[in-house]
Structure 1
Amino acid sequence: MNKVSVYGSFTQALFFSGVVSVPKYLLTHYKVIGLTDREVMILLQILCDAEMNPYPSLASLAARMTASLSDIEESVGHLVEQNLLSIERYWSPTEEKWLNSYRFVGLIDELAELWAIERSQQLEEERVLRQTQSMSNTSPAMPVKSSMENLVRVFESELGRPLTSIECENFDRWLSSHFSEELIIEALRRGVSAGIRNFRYLDSILREWEKKGLRTKAEIEAEDAYFQSRQEKKTSRPKKQGPKTSSNKYDNFYL
């Protein structure tokens, strides 16, 4: 028989010898449930004989493997102890006697529970991801749009004229820099009080607050109170003759 014929005959015999169906989930997760490589191979050998011999002897299993008979006995005992493999008795009508059979109910239950946990975690991760994407697509845009509209309305009311598109770009820049709507309006109020309605002046005020780490109106008012207290202490001391200085701390920012 030539080599090609031998190869063809062997291939045919190989596939006709039968195939053992092994769940992929078992092969990819047996380590997670505490199975060793040897124990998995023993399970596969038992599955191999399941149809013809549901209870193969330990000696026959050892004959197919590199493990010794004592190792096989120890591994099977561990599988039974962990309830991943069980030995059940059943009545054989053909042989008219009770026989033993290996069952994999415990192993299937363990894998099913693991699968359920992983599936639950996967669904939760997908839910969180969808929620995050939804928030990133809608939630941030709505407050920014609302803030822009409110700022335009307040500024136009205070300035008594419509804003130009270039002036409106300042709002987008300030909001992107995490200045709150409250702080921007407060800067406007202070600019109007000083008689200065220049956007560059307002930007200077906001940048000064940012430099000092002031992020809320309450923090700014506390800083103002501290500044005023220092000014009052200075005025209570004897003054030396010198150049007159301004008490408005924002005057230097007017451009």
Structure 2
Amino acid sequence: MVNFYNYHKAGFSVFSNTLFKYYSHLNISETELVLILQLEVFAQDKNYFPSNQELAASTNLSAIEISELLQGLINKEVINLEQINDQEGKISNFYSLKPLYKKIDALFEQEQLSRKQSSSNRISQPLGYENQDPLQLTVRQFEIEFGRLLSPIERQEIAAWINEDHYDPEVIKLALREAILAQVYNFKYVDRILLNWQRHNLTTVEQVKNYLQRNV
């Protein structure tokens, strides 16, 4: 007879809630997430380098699909394939999830910092006064439209648009609006829009709006 004791003997796996909260911010798909969880399960069972066949047997994926997904995660710098020497000098391979959790740490710290800044602004500013920092306002607009927190790299790109390329923050928001209307939610598309406007010497909101009206 099957009972809870039998399941209990198989053990339990524990995963950080931050992984489930932030995986989508790191461009990790649900299928890739399942594979990451399987790597965690095997690691908790002291198997740090499960074969593609072992991983496939624990999922609905083929060994070939597992191989492609693992390579994709390595390319995204989410996991690393590393080596270690034991006491006898034998080399062993293992999958490291350190890159993943470093990225999650950065996102978590960024969110905590944003909360502290928001709390500080509410305390130090008069009621109804909003933070008028162009960078923060632009970042917030992107987060609203994209429906997620921006990564540190994405924040740096916005800062570069404002501080290095000297784009008007309001023009950046217009480019964001054009991307959303085209249903393209990525920074490369927004950057192409800004470069196109720059080539046409469109530097102000009024110039951009006139240009858009002429090209409707």
Shorter-chain TM-score range: 0.5 to 0.7
Match of 1:80 among 64, 74, 82: 74
**Distance in 2 between the 1:55 and 1:10 partners?**
31
In our comparison, the structure showing a higher alpha carbon Rg is: 1
1:29 positional shift:
1.3
1:124 positional shift:
1.0
**Distance in 1 between the 2:38 and 2:31 partners?**
11
1:121 is aligned to 114
1:87 positional shift:
1.1
**Distance in 1 between the 2:92 and 2:109 partners?**
34
**Distance in 1 between the 2:113 and 2:104 partners?**
14
Q: How does 1:1-255 map to 2 (within 5 A)?
A: 6=1, 10-50=3-43, 51-93=45-87, 97-132=90-125, 135-136=126-127
**Distance in 2 between the 1:67 and 1:31 partners?**
21
1:153 is aligned to none
2:3 is paired with a residue whose SS is helix
- With a CA cutoff of 8 Å and minimum separation of 6, indicate the structure with the bigger relative contact order: 2
1:93 positional shift:
3.4
For 2:59, the aligned partner's letter is M
* Residues 115-154 of structure 1 deviation map (CA, whole Å, 9 limit, x = unaligned): 111111111111112234xx34xxxxxxxxxxxxxxxxxx
For 1:114, the aligned partner's letter is L
**Distance in 2 between the 1:25 and 1:131 partners?**
30
**Distance in 2 between the 1:10 and 1:97 partners?**
42
Q: TM-score, normalised to structure 1's length?
A: 0.47
1:234 is aligned to none
1:32 is paired with a residue whose SS is helix
**Distance in 2 between the 1:39 and 1:20 partners?**
18
**Aligned residues between the structures:** 126
2:24 is paired with a residue whose SS is coil
* Residues 13-57 of structure 1 deviation map (CA, whole Å, 9 limit, x = unaligned): 212321111000101210111101111111111111114211000
**Distance in 2 between the 1:113 and 1:77 partners?**
23
Indicate the RMSD between aligned Cα atoms, in angstroms.
Answer: 1.6
1:91 positional shift:
1.8
Unaligned runs of 5+ in 1: 1-5, 137-255
- Identity across matched positions, percent: 19
For 2:9, the aligned partner's letter is F
1:73 positional shift:
1.0
